[in-house]
Amino acid sequence: MVTIPAIDMVATGENITRLREDAGLSVKDLQNIFGFATPQAIYKWQHGTAMPTVDNLVVLAALFDVHIDEILVIDGDIHSQLSA
């Protein structure tokens, strides 16, 4: 049995919400920064039902002045069998 880390999407979404609020940005602000037609992607990130792309994570980290690993929450308790 090997421990394979996985992203905790809900906790990551909570981080995105907290960091956005700490930065004084609204969902509409992020929508405009990313050039999204609707805010749905941002709401999905915040609720943990979808993850930002790597490119969008880089932008979020720059906006929030944090490292990407301060946005992502890694759950190291996921166990899986690796097969060759």
SS3 (DSSP) at 23:
coil
- How do residues 11-53 score in pLDDT, each as one tens digit? 999 999 999 999 999 999 999 999 999 999 999 999 999 999 9
Q: Cα-flanking dihedrals φ and ψ of residue 32, to 5°? A: -70, -40
Task: Over range 46-66, report the average pLDDT.
Answer: 97
Q: Could you tell me the pTM of the whole model? A: 0.86
Structure confidence at residue 77 (pLDDT) = 63
> What is the CATH number for 23?
1.10.260.40
Domain that residue 34 falls in: 2-80
Judge whether residue 3 has pLDDT over 90: no
Q: What is the DSSP string of 52-64?
A: --HHHHHHHHHHH
Residue 65 DSSP class: T
Domain count, the chain: 1
Contact between 7 and 71 under an 8 Å Cβ cutoff? The reply is no
